[in-house]
Amino acid sequence: MGVRLDPWGYLAVEDYEKLLKEFGIQPIDQVLSQYPLEHIYFTRRVIFGHRDLDAWFSKFLHGEKTAVLTGFMPSGYPHLGTAMVYEELKYFQQKGVFVKIVIADAEAYAVRRESREDTIQRGLDFIAHAIAWGINPDKAEFYFQTEMPSSYYRLIQMFSRKVTQAEIEAIYGDLAPGKIMAALTQAADILHLQLDEFGGYKYVIVPVGVDQDPHLRLTRDLADRFKYELGFERPASLYHKLMRGLDGNKMSKSRPEYAIHLNEPLEIAEKKVMNALTGGRATAEEQRRLGGEPWKCTVFELFTYHLIRDDKQLEEIYRDCITGKILCGQCKRNACELLKQLLKNHQDNLKEILKNHLVEKLVKKPLF
């Protein structure tokens, strides 16, 4: 038996190559030489895999109606892992692609135990943070799953007819009814944009963490099955590596002490980074002699994913680390300065957005 990806679990993904092979996810490299994908997540292979990105991109270049859609389950607080998705959405939006963002409150109701008020408040927070990160709300749409009209819920019913128990089991293993509903709801999120009522966007790409791939496999199968009845095309997808927590294990909403939250007080963020797992050696002498191991280092991950935009500068840090020219204490202090700037800027933006009650004007109120 190979690995199984659990979208609701806490798997730390060690070996991305294996994932590509096991699930038939396409590696990103080929597409990079073919198409202009400039973002550092592509050039640094933070986005390491995709399904049909090439087909999607060629539709985009030919001026077809394309969209990017992704979603957030509103539990916990947005953190630097969440911001990776914001960053990807921003990139596509700047290219002129229509952006739609779903707050998965129906899913949260099914699989989390938070109160309804908290879920809704957190959903609004995820939207506010997306805008603070730089997503232009005039060129994006946001929605809560539970406020969608009946045509969206009709899709979920239709999907339920054409999916078998055996197929669900092959993709997810044994799945409780609530989670099956959540999976079909997510399929409706991804496919509803293709209906005329929602704009008729036939070519949709979904950027997500690779733990969400099971949902995409299911949704792509459903698209095939409704090709004739509803004229659906398969959605494309894009997978980024899951950012690790500062202890080297998965960054998760359930282990807040190892994640950097976007609304974190700067001194706390700083403390967390100063305690982070690095690729440093036991003693300074040893590190000067042998050099550090940046590939193991969560601080280097911060540089790569968020703090350093310039590839040359990143290479320089890498070289200084492996040659023992810089030690972890100094390196972490540098990371802290950059991180505090990033968070401060984000939090200033957020304050403006909250002050103007922008978010409440953007979304319909979810159901009870």
- Using CB under 6 A as the criterion, which residues of the chain lie in contact with ligand TRP when the complex forms? 7, 69-73, 102, 104, 107, 186, 189-190, 206, 208, 212
Give yes or no for residue 321 binding ligand SF4 (CB under 6 A).
yes
Give yes or no for residue 297 binding ligand SF4 (CB under 6 A).
yes
Instruction: For ligand SF4, give the closer residue by CB, 50 or 332.
Output: 332
How many residues sit close enough to ligand SF4 to count as binding (CB under 6 A)? 13
Strand order in the sheet with 140-144: 26-27, 47-51, 236-240, 203-209, 66-72, 98-103, 140-144
Give yes or no for residue 280 binding ligand SF4 (CB under 6 A).
yes
Q: Which listed residue (76, 123, 245, 292) binds ligand SF4 by CB under 6 A?
A: 292
Quote the least distance from Cβ 198 to ligand TRP, whole Å.
14
186 touches, from ligand SF4, ligand TRP, none (C-beta below 5 to 8 Å by class): ligand TRP
Look up residue 89 and give its two tokens. Answer: 């959405």
Kindly give the interhelix angle for 328-355 and 116-133, rounded to the nearest 10 degrees: 110
Q: How far apart are CA 350 and CA 142, in angstroms?
A: 17
Give yes or no for residue 305 binding ligand SF4 (CB under 6 A).
no
Q: How far apart are CA 338 and CA 334, in angstroms?
A: 7
Query: How many other C-beta atoms lie within 10 A of the C-beta of residue 98?
Result: 18
SS3 call for 201: coil
Q: Which listed residue (92, 332, 336, 359) binds ligand SF4 by CB under 6 A?
A: 332
Give yes or no for residue 304 binding ligand SF4 (CB under 6 A).
no
Instruction: For ligand SF4, give the closer residue by CB, 236 or 335.
Output: 335
Residue whose tokens read 């197929």: 167
Q: Are 152 and 188 in contact (CB under 8 A)?
A: yes
Environment class of 183 (CB within 10 Å of its CB; exposed 0-12, middle 13-18, buried 19+) = buried
Instruction: For ligand TRP, give the closer residue by CB, 72 or 300.
Output: 72
Closest listed residue to residue 98, CA positions, set 69, 70, 127, 67: 67
Binding track over 223-262 against ligand SF4, x by CB under 6 A: ----------------------------------------
Instruction: For ligand TRP, give the closer residue by CB, 40 or 242.
Output: 242
Interface positions with ligand SF4 (CB under 6 A): 278-280, 292, 294, 297, 299-300, 321, 326, 328, 331-332
